[in-house]
Amino acid sequence: MSEIVTKTLYDLLRDPEYGSIYAEILKFCREPKTKDEIERFVLEDLKATYEKTKVWPAYFIWELEKAGGLRWEGKWKTTEMGLKLIS
């Protein structure tokens, strides 16, 4: 039987491979952003392409939402907890 592992936001930010990407997305989403804006930011500004990360930009949004770092309010916005952890 497979085990489902849910990472905390703290775990995501400490991830050696993707932690800096998660942190930059949280900073970027202090002001609400669309999925397209976040994906463009990840690909163009952070240069986190699929070839480099082996995951698509939407993966980072999904993980941050699951961990409580982003919430949907018509657009994606960093939560209070997310803001505290990146300050």
CA 57 to CA 54: how far, in whole Å?
A: 10
CA 50 to CA 27: how far, in whole Å?
A: 21
Is the pLDDT confidence value at 6 over 70?
Answer: no
pTM, whole model, 2 decimals? 0.90
Cβ-based neighbours of 37, under 8 Å, separated by 6 or more: none
| Tens digit of each residue's pLDDT (9 = 90 or more) over 10-67 | 999 999 999 999 999 999 999 999 999 999 999 999 999 889 889 999 999 999 999 9
Q: CATH no. for residue 71?
A: 1.10.10
For the chain, how many structural domains are there in total? Answer: 1
Residue 1 lies in a domain: no
Domain of 34? Answer: 9-86
- Residue 34: phi and psi, rounded to 5, are -80, 165
Residue 2 lies in a domain: no
Is the pLDDT confidence value at 4 over 70?
Answer: no
